[in-house]
C-alpha cells in the first residue's frame, strides 16, 4: 500500500497534465496561431483521463513503440501491463504539414482548445492490427472497430499539456479525479475499495453482486461510464438519476460512493476489462467487479473471456484484484438472488429477462418483475422512454 494506506497508482505515480497560471495563459494565446486538430469524441474522453491521471503512467498519446507492443503483447514499451492503444490521429495531409517539434492545438467539435500537443513522433496508424489484436475482429459492425476505422491514418505523439480536461462537463457534482476519489477513500478510512463498472442502469442482479463485493471490501465505488457509447445504450443522464435513487434507498451511504467515469466505451471485451482494472487502480480501488460479458458487445467474445484474461498475468503485474461473478438472477425456489453456484433450481424457477424483452416491456409502459429491477427504477426508465419517443 502507498500513502494513506491506499493502493499505488499504476506505474507508481499519479500523473497530472493540467496546466494553470501563467503557463495556461501563454498556451491559450499561442494556441490561436497553432495548427488545429479536432478530436473525435473518444479522443476527447482520452484527453480528460490522461489529464487527470486516470491513465497513469501515460503522459500523453502513445508513440509507435507503445502502440505496437500494446497490440502485440498487452504491455507498454517499458514492460508495464497495458491493454488498449490510446492514440491521437489525423489525416495524412495534415500530418505531412506538421513538423516534428511543432506544437498543435487539440480542440473539441466546437473548436474550443482542450490541450497542446508538442509533436515528437508521427507514425502510420495500423488500424488492421489494432482491430485484430485488441477487438479480435475487423468487422466494421463492431462499434469499437468502427471508431478505429473512422480515425486518421497517422498518429501523433509527444508531450501533452491540457488547458481544460473538458468544457462544461456534465455531472459536476459527481465528477471526481483520481486524486479526489483517493482523498475521499482516505477520509472514509477505506483501505479496500471495490469498483463497479457499468454503462447500464443497475438492476437487481447488479445490486446483488455489488453488495456481495462490499461484504469483503471497506467501500464500494459505483463508477458509471459517461463518455461515448453506442446508439441504443441508455443515455447517461437517465442512468445517473437511476443510480442516485437506488443508492439513496438501498445502499449504506457510509460505505458507498458514486462518481462518474469519463471514458469512452471501446467494447473491447477482455482487453477492456484489463484497461478498466488499470484505470480503477489509479482511482484508488483495490478490487474490480468483473462480471458476465464485461465490456462486451454482440457475439464477439465468450461469456467469461473478460475474467479469464486476468489469468494470463502475474497478479503483481495487475495489482488490482478482479472479483469474478457468474450470472446472477432471482431464484423463486430459494426466495432470493442466486447464481448457478448457489442454487439447484431449474431454469423455469429463475427470473431472467433479456435486454430486448426488458426494453419491449418498458416501451409498453410495463414494469419488469420486481425481482428483476426495483419499481422506482422501472418507472424512471418508462418515463425516459416515453419522453424520447
Catalytic residue numbers?
A: 199-200
- What residues pair up with 157 in beta bridges, in sequence order? 121
Q: Which residues, at least 6 apart from 358, have a Cβ–Cβ distance to it below 8 Å? A: 368, 372, 373
CA geometry: angle 56, 41, 222, nearest 5 deg: 55
Return d(Cα 213, Cα 288) in angstroms, integer: 9
> Which H, E and C letters describe 197-245, residue by residue?
EECCCCCHHHHHHHHHHHCCCCEEEEEEECCCCCCCCCCHHHHHHHHHH
Segment (H or E) for 195: strand 193-198
User: For the packed helices 236-250 and 375-388, what is the interaxial angle rounded to 10 degrees?
Assistant: 160
Return d(Cα 61, Cα 162) in angstroms, integer: 12
Q: Where are the alpha helices (DSSP H) in the chain?
A: 21-31, 41-52, 64-73, 92-97, 127-130, 143-150, 178-188, 204-214, 236-250, 270-282, 305-308, 315-318, 355-363, 375-388
Residue by residue, DSSP assigns 107-123 as: E-TT--EEEEEE--EEE
Return d(Cα 111, Cα 182) in angstroms, integer: 33
- What residues pair up with 156 in beta bridges, in sequence order? 88, 122
Q: Which residues, at least 6 apart from 348, have a Cβ–Cβ distance to it below 8 Å? A: none
Q: How far is CA 238 from CA 184, 196, 203, 209, in A?
A: 25, 18, 14, 22
Return d(Cα 145, Cα 227) in angstroms, integer: 17
Return d(Cα 339, Cα 325) in angstroms, integer: 9
| 232, three cell numbers | 441504443
Amino acid at each position: 500500500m502507498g500513502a494513506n494506506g491506499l493502493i499505488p497508482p499504476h506505474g507508481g505515480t499519479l500523473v497530472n497534465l493540467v496546466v494553470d497560471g501563467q503557463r495556461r495563459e501563454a498556451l491559450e494565446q499561442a494556441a490561436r496561431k497553432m495548427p488545429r486538430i479536432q478530436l473525435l469524441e473518444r479522443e476527447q474522453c482520452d484527453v480528460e483521463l490522461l489529464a487527470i491521471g486516470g491513465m497513469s503512467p501515460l503522459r500523453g498519446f502513445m508513440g509507435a513503440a507503445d502502440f505496437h507492443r500494446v497490440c502485440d503483447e498487452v504491455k507498454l514499451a517499458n514492460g508495464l501491463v497495458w491493454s488498449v492503444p490510446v492514440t491521437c490521429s489525423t489525416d495524412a495531409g495534415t500530418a505531412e504539414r506538421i513538423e516534428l517539434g511543432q506544437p498543435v492545438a487539440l480542440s473539441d467539435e466546437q473548436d474550443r482548445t482542450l490541450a497542446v500537443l508538442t509533436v515528437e513522433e508521427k507514425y502510420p496508424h495500423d488500424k488492421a492490427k489494432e482491430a485484430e489484436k485488441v477487438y479480435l475482429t475487423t468487422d466494421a459492425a463492431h462499434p469499437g472497430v468502427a471508431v478505429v476505422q473512422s480515425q486518421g491514418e497517422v498518429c501523433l505523439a509527444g508531450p501533452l499539456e491540457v488547458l481544460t480536461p473538458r468544457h462544461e462537463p456534465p455531472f459536476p457534482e459527481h465528477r471526481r479525479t483520481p486524486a479526489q476519489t483517493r482523498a475521499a477513500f482516505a477520509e472514509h478510512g477505506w483501505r479496500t475499495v471495490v469498483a463497479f463498472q457499468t454503462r447500464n442502469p443497475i438492476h437487481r442482479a447488479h445490486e446483488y453482486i455489488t453488495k456481495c463485493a462490499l461484504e469483503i471490501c471497506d467501500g464500494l465505488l459505483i463508477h458509471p461510464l459517461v463518455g461515448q457509447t453506442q446508439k441504443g445504450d441508455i443515455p447517461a443522464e437517465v442512468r445517473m438519476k437511476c443510480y442516485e435513487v437506488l443508492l439513496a434507498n438501498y445502499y449504506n451511504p457510509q460505505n458507498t460512493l458514486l462518481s462518474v467515469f469519463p471514458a469512452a466505451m471501446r467494447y473491447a471485451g477482455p482487453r477492456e476489462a484489463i484497461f478498466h482494472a488499470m484505470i480503477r487502480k489509479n482511482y484508488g480501488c483495490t478490487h474490480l467487479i468483473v462480471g458476465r460479458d464485461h465490456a462486451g458487445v454482440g457475439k464477439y467474445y465468450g461469456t467469461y473471456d473478460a475474467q479469464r484474461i486476468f489469468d494470463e498475468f502475474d497478479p503483481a503485474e495487475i495489482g488490482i484484484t478482479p472479483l469474478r461473478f457468474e450470472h446472477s438472477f432471482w431464484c423463486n425456489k430459494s426466495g432470493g438472488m442466486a447464481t448457478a453456484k448457489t442454487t439447484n433450481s431449474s431454469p423455469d424457477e429463475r427470473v431472467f429477462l433479456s435486454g430486448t424483452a426488458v426494453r419491449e416491456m418498458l416501451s409498453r409502459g410495463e414494469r419488469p418483475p420486481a425481482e428483476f429491477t426495483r419499481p422506482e427504477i422501472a418507472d424512471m426508465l418508462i418515463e425516459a422512454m416515453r419522453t424520447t419517443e
